[in-house]
């Protein structure tokens, strides 16, 4: 039995009983493309077996490096963008105290992220936050030339050298990069940084269970053994193409059924603030995998009940192109009882002595019913709790689903050709060598 549960029972108003079965032949074909490597992007299917086929020696080195960083650093900065950032950020938030960096009695390093923007203000504030405390860096880039992390690394490396000297700084830089080539690989070899590998057969948005995500997660105190255990069990659970048995594939199939009926935007929703970055990771996974050839479901997100007070009106009565997927936590990390307050005028007497988890649950149930009445299909992925095993399982659920979903829609779910367009324009406008003719053209348009 699956560790997490996919609930499609609220789709009866939108999907006929026979429609899922009619998707079986397409799903079987998509599964064959994925498993046998006959589909587009077949060089990037390494995520399928990663939970059992990872480098065990490197995994041990990751745990050893994390312990060293925990012992010698008060602050740890992971430098990366996109798939080199969102997975780790998502996992650290998912597995930690809501206010992790300020948690009373915390003994582990504060964890921050850089290289995910080109904001000088952000980096300056981060440098102020580090102050004169001991810190270490993990720079994550397959090429070593991605603009945002390269700028951040150069600036933070200078601070590291100023504090520890050239030799001391080298022992506090951890590089996660290509196995054999690239600017960061060349620098790491020359300087003697400890190195970890971005796998050749795994794209950035699928890479959280590799060294890309594992080192920051381990430094933050996450149990990466249990993370991989959960993903390995999910790999077994979601290996059968039979839609009656594979809920990850059911999710992919229902998304495509709804997409073909005009539900072109999907909102991933949660009721726990520590799941906000799960949505951000999911948006890259879905958007970069499916948004091609003028096709694809647009991924968006909402954090409830907070966003019910800003987006709720649109979801209820706006353009009817929305579908919703809720990630629901059955057992929250903590719970509180609403106290009795005699004579209060806040209207909460009927909630006194009730748990906040109960109120949150009823909010979720009430929202589902309202949105169904408003013409919005709602699916739910229920997870038992927020622990490392569950997160590994959930990561694999979404990765398997989007790979199948991409093939169902006739696209390559593993490439991302469109993201290069803005980079070329930016390089030209900044005067990067080799872009002279393009610079003239763009300046004329501006």
**Which one is catalytic: 67, 423, 436, 440?**
423
β-pair type (265-270, 298-303): parallel
Residues in the chain: 446
CA–CA dist 227, 217 (Å, integer): 10
Check 33, 110, 247, 288 and give the catalytic one. Answer: 288
378 Rama sector, left if φ>0, alpha if ψ -120 to 50, beta otherwise: beta
Distance CA 356, CA 220 (A): 28
The answer to whether 288 is a known catalytic residue is yes
| Half-sphere exposure for 11 (CA within 13 Å, toward CB) | 26
Which residues, other chains included, contact 108 with Cβ-Cβ below 8 Å and sequence gap of 6+?
Answer: 70, 219, 220, 221
Question: φ and ψ at 429, to 5 degrees?
Answer: -70, -25
| Lookup: tokens for 20 | 């899922």
The verdict on whether 423 is a catalytic residue reads yes
| Residues tagged active-site | 288, 423
């Amino acid at each position: 039995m699956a560790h997490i549960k996919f609930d499609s029972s609220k789709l009866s108003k939108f999907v006929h009983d026979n429609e899922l079965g009619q998707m079986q032949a397409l799903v079987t074909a998509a599964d064959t493309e994925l498993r046998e490597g006959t589909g587009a992007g077949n060089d990037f299917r390494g995520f399928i077996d990663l939970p059992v086929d990872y480098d065990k020696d490197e995994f041990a080195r990751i745990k050893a490096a994390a312990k060293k960083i925990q012992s010698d650093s008060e602050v740890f900065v992971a430098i990366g963008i996109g798939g080199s950032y969102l997975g780790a950020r998502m996992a650290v938030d998912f597995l930690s105290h809501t206010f992790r960096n300020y948690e009373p009695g915390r003994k582990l390093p504060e964890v921050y992220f850089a290289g995910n923007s080109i904001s000088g203000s952000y980096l300056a504030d981060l440098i102020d936050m580090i102050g004169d405390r001991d810190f270490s860096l993990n720079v994550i880039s397959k090429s070593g030339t991605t603009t945002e992390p390269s700028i951040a690394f150069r600036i933070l490396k200078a601070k590291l050298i100023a504090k520890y000297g050239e030799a001391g700084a080298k022992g506090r830089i951890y590089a996660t990069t290509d196995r054999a080539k690239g600017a960061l690989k060349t620098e790491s070899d020359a300087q003697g940084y400890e190195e970890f590998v971005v796998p050749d057969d795994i794209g950035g948005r699928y890479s959280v269970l590799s060294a890309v995500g594992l080192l920051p997660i381990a430094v933050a105190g996450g149990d990466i053994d249990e993370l991989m255990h959960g993903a390995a069990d999910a790999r077994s659970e979601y290996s059968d193409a039979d839609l009656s048995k594979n809920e990850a594939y059911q999710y992919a199939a229902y998304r495509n059924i709804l997409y073909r009926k005009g539900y072109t935007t999907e909102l991933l929703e949660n009721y726990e603030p520590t799941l906000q970055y799960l949505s951000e990771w999911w948006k890259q996974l879905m958007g970069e995998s499916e948004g091609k050839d003028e096709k694809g479901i647009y991924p968006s997100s909402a954090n409830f009940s907070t966003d019910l007070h800003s987006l709720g009106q649109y979801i209820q009565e706006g353009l009817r192109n929305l579908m919703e997927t809720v990630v629901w936590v059955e057992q929250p990390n903590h719970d509180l009882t609403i106290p009795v307050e005699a004579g209060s005028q806040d209207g909460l007497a009927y909630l006194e002595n009730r748990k906040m988890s109960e109120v949150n649950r009823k909010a979720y149930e009430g929202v589902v019913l309202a949105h169904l009445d408003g013409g919005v299909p709602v699916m739910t992925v229920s997870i038992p709790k927020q622990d490392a095993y569950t997160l590994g399982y959930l990561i694999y659920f979404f990765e398997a689903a989007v790979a199948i979903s991409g093939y169902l829609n006739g696209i390559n779910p593993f490439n991302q050709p469109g993201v290069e367009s803005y980079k070329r324009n930016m390089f030209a406008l900044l005067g990067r060598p080799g872009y002279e003719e393009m610079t003239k053209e763009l300046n004329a348009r501006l």
